[in-house]
Amino acid sequence: MSKLLPDLTPHQELAILARTLWREGYDDHLAGHITYRQGDGTLLCNPWLLLWEEIRPEDVIRIDLEGNLLEGTWPVPLGIPLHLALHRVRPDVTVAVHNHPRFGTVWADLQRIPTCHDQSSALGGGRLALVDEYDGPVNDPDSAARAVTAMGDADLALLSNHGVFVLGSSIRAAHQRAVALEQRCRTAWHVAAVGEGRPLPEPARSFFERHDGNGFAGFWEAMARRELRFDPTLLDAATADTG
């Protein structure tokens, strides 16, 4: 069988993840951060000032757990304290995604966890928590630490009056969970508009919740290939302007 994707560097993985999630509704203009913990403890991160749909591998920056820029030419996102606080206390998390997707933000504004109605809404697995983080500015390290403490060991969170926070042990897991969370929120909204609906029954609900997000073979690769069709130059190395 042919390879589903070419070998990707971590910088390429993060750029493709940002682009795939933009198409899934994680598209609130300049908002949102993705961090990708590396073996040396540093974090790759999308930079401030670029849309997720335009990020290229060469734009990805590297920061330390204090938020200092170690590599790259773009500035560090202003809201990065939430990620820094998370990575300091959750060694199980490799990738963290924060944004304000359309339907996830509706439920965060309602301060209600949406019902999971179907398999596609559950495929990311994990436990979803509701976290009220607005006891201080969103870029304040103390407020970020309190939000992470309130999240506990949950794998996903609705941040009240703000957006969502999705955690994963890999790029694949974070992608699957982020896609499934927005699908869960969107489907629950439409079902609620018609009536109460039926929650996903047991034992299916518990079966899916135990998943770590890595189990849907081929899904991440298929969505990544779609991005490479949209932009065939995405994996090309940037060339210096020798003008």
Domain boundaries, the chain: 10-230
Q: pLDDT tens digits for 73-128?
A: 999 998 999 999 999 999 999 999 999 999 999 999 999 999 999 988 988 889 99
Question: Residue 201 gets which letter from DSSP?
Answer: P
For the chain, the farthest-separated pair of C-alpha atoms sits apart, in whole angstroms, at 64
Identify the CA nearest to 225 among candidates 72, 48, 16, 1: 16
Spatial separation of the C-alpha atoms in residues 102 and 93, rounded to whole Å: 24
Spatial separation of the C-alpha atoms in residues 143 and 133, rounded to whole Å: 7
> Cα 31 from chain centroid?
12
Question: Residue 233 gets which letter from DSSP?
Answer: T
The confidence score (pLDDT) of residue 176 equals 95
Neighbours of 1 (CB within 10 A): 3
The confidence score (pLDDT) of residue 195 equals 86
Identify the CA nearest to 63 among candidates 91, 49, 83: 83
Superfamily holding 10-230: Class II aldolase/adducin N-terminal domain (3.40.225.10)
Residues 100, 154, 185: CA angle, nearest 5 degrees? 40
The confidence score (pLDDT) of residue 243 equals 37
Question: From residue 102, how far is each of 26, 89, 162, 191, 195 by CA, in Å?
Answer: 7, 29, 11, 16, 21
Residues of the chain where predicted confidence (pLDDT) is lower than 70: 1-2, 136-138, 213, 238-243
The confidence score (pLDDT) of residue 140 equals 86
Spatial separation of the C-alpha atoms in residues 34 and 96, rounded to whole Å: 6
pTM reported for the whole predicted model: 0.93
